[in-house]
Structure 1
Amino acid sequence: MGTSAEKDSHTASVRRDVWFESGGVRCAAWLYVPTAEGGPRPLVVMAHGLGAVRGWRLDAFAERFAAQGWVVLVFDYRYLGASEGSPRQLLDIGDQLDDWRAALAYGRSLPEVDPDRIAVWGTSFGGGHVLRVASEDHGVAAVVAQCPFTDGPASLLSRFRAGPLSMIGLVIAAVLDVVGSVFGARPVLAPVVGVWWMPAFLVSPTAIAAATKLIPAGSRLSPRTARVLARLPAVGKGLSPTVETGGQPFRPGDTAVGRDTIWGVMTGPDGDSANAIAARLALRLPLYRPGKDLRKIAAPTLLCVCDDDRAAPARATARLAAGQEHVQVNHYDGDHFDIYVGDLFERAVADQIRFLTTRFTAPAGR
């Protein structure tokens, strides 16, 4: 269902706000449709990573794909961003996989789409999801996984090395969150990115600054978060200028996030988001190993791996991809968030377009 339309003269496409249903919940999405006339077109279905939303630079990738004459569907998972669902900021692996399946079903129903030329594109945690989904859905023509989360134990070990004490804090928060959920309490929120002493899922000295480079210009921090940064300037060191720490205050309770948190609530031109998700996920992450599904995927698969990645260790991904003839691994110098911006973004998106072009123009059955 389209609710608005916006023409992008650079990509010669129209972006519509649409939604599809998953598990009884409406997931919000952008649908890019090229303006030029033509028959059924390839489709690229896209979603983000751990707690992130589509406005965090997925539009930059989508515009490049739409410029190739492809239809592009970019969605937010339930409980996050512009999508519906309660409690907010919950990340359930099974639910997110169901959201991917629902997005593919919706994409296949579109009259503009060639159902034999559909690719799934996921980044970070979503990069792991597309491996799991493509291993089950052999109708997918191509897979692109960027900085993919492939191996829970490897990511857990990397996180423990980055901050053992704060890792213990994250686990305690996760246990409290699970116990509270039994009694209907609101989720205990833990930061997605943070510095060594924070009970965050991803910890490094530059994680916060690097992650904010993905945030749309004009985004504003909640008053509570702005006060924390004022008292602890080291936490916000290198914060992207796209994030405004002052300006007109807003009420976090009125945003899609629905509450404030010291870890960061933001509102901006592309919606509301937070540097926080339900802590209970920390107990599930070590058990999630979507990289093992690589051998079950029938479609050609491109893995774009950052060699200094601390959230999704490159060595584990390369090991799981070794010997898989249908898997291509491209390596890039950088950490987890570097591939979304600047020169690495340009290199990666060009490589992805070349890969997808080859698959979308290949004869049927190949």
Structure 2
Amino acid sequence: MTKEPATDQFAARFHEAGFAVLAFDHRRFGASGGTPRQIVRFDEQIADWRAAIECAATLPDVDPDRIALWGFSLAGGHVFRVAADHPRLACAIAQTPLVDGRAVAPHALRSMTPGAALRLFGRGVVDALGSLVGRPPLLVPTAGARGSVASLTTPDALDGDRALDPGRRHTGWEQTVAARIVLRLGGYRPGRHASRIRCPLLVVVCDQDRSALPAPAVRAAGAAPAAEVVHLTGRHYAPFLESHEQAVAAELSFLEKHLAPRVP
């Protein structure tokens, strides 16, 4: 997702509460540069987070010791890895995070029909091989119904449009991704960095999440020295839908606690 549909609802509420918000697109997506487009490279995206932190620390009226992270889904998984490498952070929020591709991949495969899974992995291989000789990325939809060839066909995958762009305002939101991601996602396990996170960490999970799954996130939170878990009712996109107010209340309370001005 690009920054507007992914963050608009929460960024507005955080700003109304008095916090400055820096939202950004990963390279190759949205308003950011980088070619070829629509390619997910985890190390590149982690580097983009580091650059965003460095940028935020230089902005007027920003205290470099009172910077927090907020990420959702795959970016919520990135929060674990980035927070582990930045002990100066004041706190971090991971909302329905994808923390363990190895745990999620079998469930995602079971949500596909065998034929669709074979076609998807075939496209992933073709895309990866094509990249070696400079061919344009072979794109697939980021979400689709069971039986379609898409990167995710879990029962709640198609909730994204209704949750993130119900008014169809974000006409430039390109909902595709290079197919090679299916060959890499199973090996991405940012939750393994949880034990190195020194700042307070809030992990928000949805108990009926069928995309990122709540159990791996709860386990990862248990390994972080200063983590707390908030359980919401609903599926992967519930924080943008029926559980939005509960999610906002929990996250604002957490931010107010850990970003409050320090009294000498």
TM normalised by structure 1 equals 0.69
Shift, 1:211, TM fit = 1.0
Partner of 2:147: 197
The CA distance in 2 between the partners of 1:352 and 1:215, in whole Å, is 18
Map 1:180-259; keep pairs closer than 5 Å. Answer: 180-208=130-158, 210-216=159-165, 240=166, 242-243=167-168
Question: Residue 273 in 1 paired to residue 173 in 2?
Answer: yes
Aligned residues: CA RMSD: 1.8
Identity of aligned residues (%): 37
Contact 1:155 1:310 in 2 (8 A): no
Structure 1 CA distance, aligned partners of 2:37 and 2:224? 39
Residue correspondences, number:
263
Q: Contact 2:119 / 2:149 at 8 angstroms: preserved in 1?
A: yes
Deviation at 1:182, TM superposition (A): 1.0
TM-score (norm 2): 0.94
**Corresponding position: 1:285 with 2:185:** yes
In the alignment, structure 1 residue 80 sits paired with structure 2 residue 29: yes
Deviation at 1:207, TM superposition (A): 2.7
Partner of 1:174: 124
Determine the structure 1 residue equivalent to 2:212: 312
2:49 maps to which residue? 100
Counterpart contact for 2:155–2:210, Cα < 8 Å? no
Tell me the secondary structure at the aligned position of residue 93 of structure 2: strand
Q: Higher relative contact order by CA 8 Å / sep ≥ 6: 1 or 2? A: 2
Give 2:80's aligned residue.
131
Q: Partner amino acid for 1:193?
A: A
Give 1:302's match in structure 2, choosing from 193, 196, 202: 202
Q: 1:122 aligns with which of 64, 71, 74?
A: 71
Task: Tell whether the 8 Å contact from 2:195 to 2:223 is kept in structure 1 after alignment.
Answer: no
3-state secondary structure, aligned to 1:330: strand
Q: Name the SS of the counterpart of 2:203 in structure 1.
A: strand
1:163 is matched by which residue type in structure 2? M
Where 1:175 maps in the other structure, the secondary structure is helix
- 2:252 is aligned to 353
* CA distance in structure 1 between the partners assigned to 2:6 and 2:181 by the alignment: 24
Q: Match of 2:118, as an amino acid?
A: I
Structure 1 stretches of 4+ with a deviation exceeding 3 A read 362-365
Residue type at the aligned position of 1:357: E
Structure 2 unpaired stretches of 5+: none
Q: Distance in 1 between matches of 2:119 and 2:210?
A: 19
Instruction: Describe the superposition over 1:240-279 as per-residue Cα deviations: whole angstroms up to 9, x where unpaired.
Output: 5x34xxxxxxxxxxxxxxxxxxxxxxxx4x4512221001
Distance 1:271 1:108, change over 3 A: farther
Distance (whole Å) between structure 1 residues aligned to residue 73 and residue 201 of structure 2: 15
Q: Which has the larger radius of gyration?
A: 1
* Cα shift at 1:181: 0.6
Contact 2:156 2:209 survives alignment (8 Å): no
Residue 57 of structure 2 aligns to a residue whose secondary structure is helix
Distance 1:329 1:53, change over 3 A: same
Match of residue 257 from structure 1: none
| Structure with greater proportional helix content | 2
* Superposition pairs of residues 8-19 of structure 1, within 5 angstroms: none
Q: Going by fraction, where is strand more abundant, 1 or 2?
A: 1
Alpha-carbon deviations, 1:149-188, whole Å to 9, x = none?
A: 1001111011011115222222111110011111111101
Contact 1:117–1:140 (8 Å) recurs in 2:
yes
Distance 1:206 1:331, change over 3 A: closer
Q: After superposition, what is the alpha-carbon deviation per residue over 1:280-331, rounded to whole angstroms, capped at 9, x for unaligned?
A: 1111111110111111000000000011112211111112222544110111
